[in-house]
Amino acid sequence: MTNTSNSLSFSLSRVSKMFSGSQFDATTAFSGGGFTSSQPSTLNDSSPAPSNSRETPGLVPVTVKQISEASQSGDEKSNFVINGVDLNNVTLVGMMFEKVERNTDVSFVLDDGTGRIKCRRWINEAFDTKEMEAVMNDMYVRVYGHLKSFQGVKQLVAFSVRPVTNFDEIPFHFIDCIHNHLRSKIKVEGITSANPSSGSSLETPVKSAPNRSQASNPVCAQHSVDGLKGIDKLVMDYLEQHSDRSDGRGIHVDELSRELKLPIEKIKLSLKTLADDGEIYSTIDDDHYKKA
Amino acid sequence: MASAPSRTLTDFFQPASKRLKPTLPASCKSDDANASTLSVDQKLRMEYNKLLAKSKRNLKLCVERVSKSKESGLGGVKLEELLVEETWLEALPGELQKPYALTLSKFVESEISGGDGVIFPPTHLIFNALNSTPFHTVKAVILGQDPYHGPGQAMGLSFSVPEGIKVPSSLVNIFKELHQDLGCSIPTHGNLQKWAVQGVLLLNAVLTVRKHQANSHAKKGWEQFTDVVIKTISQKKEGVVFLLWGNSAREKSRLIDARKHHVLTAAHPSGLSANRGFFGCRHFSRTNQLLEQMGIDPIDWQL
């Protein structure tokens, strides 16, 4: 019993050296004495990731199927991508098959029920040998590794392979994959949902403009019912009424500001909004506009 | 190099002014006042920005239609509602209501309903090639096979990717050839909309793809539709330059009347074949030479 405990602690100690401190809390892992507590710790450590969706996660739980669908954007040295998220280190749980031991490495195939993937564990020191001796064919194992592409075939270069002793770990791993997948999807969609927010922030100045202008410019009063589009409408109406100028140069922003009695900044903001929507376009330079 | 564009523009000035006289007598009178005469640069700038504005309005209309159909909770927006450019609707009357197109539409709609991000390009960009290059402005056609199938890459224009997305290797090779051919600098992005707005139709033979599955929507009806597009251009227009890269694109030459149009062929710009007939093809300068011979403004290929 004592030996088992020491072996487990030693194993966790090895694992903790492979991750940055922020990603794996060795103290928590030791005090937990098992897998259950270490996983929440990992999840907690991952929580800062949402603040920056482009940040590469430290360790990503995946299934073999997800790996098979991962795309590699460039040459073989670049990272794999799943759902637009870069993979660096991954972890899988599955059954070991076709274990082959050599002096330099131990290779095996991992089958997690969604597919099979070749894995390789390079033997560099006594610890590597000892850990690989503890696992054998037909045994469930937890693998930590880095994805590689070798002659077009995806492979996992493992740096830790441990036997699964608490079989709750198997369904937990699949739930962890689902959780991570959904979270990365939310990130992607979150970026999209940010656009309306950005849009509304652009609209805010326009909203306030009519109110402010009412005090200083009676002309705007008659258009207050148009709300946030009041100035845009004034600009569009003016461009339309003067669209037949013989020189074809378009209307200068200074003329719009003068004739509509509005500050040049508000005119330019309105012109930008209308141009982005394709309602108007700049003509001979960025200061002359025409209705499209 | 600086003098070449100047000479080209000068050469264009005379034909342009000649054409303007019969149709714009008022303009002829105003020529007396130098200050009111627009330069060639200014005219080109205005025309480009006007077409760009139309492209933006078309895109906005597509986005609105997609949003509306989602809000209504009905099935996805119908395919025919996503082609909004009037000039193409006039050139292809009733095409999207034909039986094969309705079958294709049902297929694409069922694929799209599988969830956002499963089908590329995004729904509102499926017909972006036609919505960005009105029928009457087509000067050249670059034929691709099907959209990029990685997330965020496809934007409905063949070979093109949005700003911020890594430039695919085929497009990198296109930029290399463009640099070698016309001395254009290599752009930092792969968005080819500037070409599309100028009249380069960036058409894929198949307009949708399933995520990560190249050519997965082949033989569903898209080829029949895009063949009709090509045939329509061939029949109703003259002097269009077709750039056909790779065997798939070259097979479309059977749809093109070579007596009325110009067909340029080369190997595909993908990494596997670019060195076997794409590099050195000089299609960009040849396209501009052909356009200039026909008195048409050349393409500004520099992004």
The per-residue pLDDT string of chain B (303 residues; one tens digit each, 9 = 90 and over) reads: 333 344 445 444 444 333 333 333 333 333 334 445 788 889 899 999 999 999 999 999 999 999 988 888 766 788 899 999 999 999 999 999 999 999 999 999 889 887 778 899 999 999 999 999 999 999 999 999 999 999 999 999 999 999 999 999 999 999 999 999 999 999 999 999 999 999 999 999 999 999 999 999 999 999 999 999 999 999 999 999 999 999 999 999 999 999 999 999 999 999 889 999 999 999 999 999 999 999 999 999 999
State yes or no: cis peptide before B121, omega within 30 of 0. Answer: yes
pLDDT, tens digit (0-9, with 9 covering 90-100), for A177-234: 998 888 777 665 544 433 333 333 333 333 333 333 333 343 444 444 344 478 999 9
The residue-averaged pLDDT of A48-52 equals: 38
Residue A210 has a pLDDT of 38
Domain ranges of chain B: 43-294
Residues A146, A90 contacting (CB under 8 angstroms): yes
User: CB–CB of B150 and A73 under 8 A?
Assistant: yes
Chain A contact set for B38 (CB, 8 A) = 247-249, 284
Question: Domains of chain A, with CATH numbers?
Answer: 2-189 (2.40.50.140), 210-291 (1.10.10.10)
Amino acid (one-letter) located at A93: V
Token couple for A19: 């991750």
- Interface with chain A: mutation pick from B31, B49, B54, B213, highest number of A CBs within 10 Å: B49
Active site residue B146: yes
Residue B74 has a pLDDT of 66
Q: Which of B49, B58, B117 is nearest residue A283 as measured by Cβ atoms?
A: B49
Q: What's the Cα-to-Cα distance from B244 to each of A175, B59, B281, rounded to whole Å?
A: 49, 27, 11
DSSP H or E run through A160:
strand A153-163
Nearest Cα residue in chain A from B33: A247
Residue B237 has a pLDDT of 96
| Exposed / middle / buried, residue A2 (Cβ in 10 Å: 0-12, 13-18, 19+) | exposed
Q: Which of A248, A277, A283 is nearest residue B56 as measured by Cβ atoms?
A: A277
pLDDT, tens digit (0-9, with 9 covering 90-100), for A81-130: 776 677 778 999 999 999 998 888 899 999 998 888 999 998 888 888 88
What is the DSSP code (8-state) at residue A129? H
Q: Which of B42, B56, B116 is nearest residue A276 as measured by Cβ atoms?
A: B56
B216/B90 Cα distance (integer angstroms): 30
B12/B266 Cα distance (integer angstroms): 29
CB atoms within 10 A of CB B247: 12
- Domain boundaries B43-294, corresponding CATH code: 3.40.470.10
Which residue of the set B32, B146, B181, B297 is catalytic?
B146
Nearest to A182 by CA among A78, A93, A66, A80: A66
